Amino acid sequence: MAFTATLSTNADIATIRLAGELDASTAPEFHEAIDDAAATGAGRVVIQAAELTYIASAGLRALVFARQKLGEDIVIEITGATEPVIRVIRMAGLDHSFEMTG
């Protein structure tokens, strides 16, 4: 499955739907989606991760980039992630930087 990072906006919420594998070769596409989300001025960014099948260390770095790019005032929610993806995020200690919802 090819990686996609699709941005949509609604009111004060920017939503990025991720599908496929987030790794070193696909992280730049996610970075671009984060840059685009930041440009909208949204107060909340929702990362829909139900179709994210794998996250590598480069994907974790991309999440750190998102947190840094958007700043602490913007809420970032990761929603629908599979248990293996959630486990990797938790093992890296990043679950405290994001709202994690089912």
Q: Where are the domains of the chain?
A: 4-101
- Predicted pLDDT at 48: 98
Q: Report the SS3 class of residue 39.
A: helix
Task: Give me the amino acid identity at 40.
Answer: T
pLDDT along the chain (102 residues), means of 10: 94 96 97 96 97 96 95 95 96 94 86
User: Which residue is it, tokens 């440009």?
Assistant: 39
Residue 52's beta-bridge partner residues? 20
Q: Identify the pLDDT of residue 82.
A: 96
CATH 3.40.220.10 matches 4-101: no
Report the candidate in 83, 84, 71 with the shortest Cα–Cα distance to residue 45. 71
Question: What per-residue confidence (pLDDT) applies to 60?
Answer: 96
Question: Which pTM does this prediction carry?
Answer: 0.94
pLDDT at 102: 80
Decide: 102 and 79 in contact? Cβ < 8 Å. yes
The structure tokens listed for 2 are 């090819």
Tokens in use for 95?
A: 């679950």
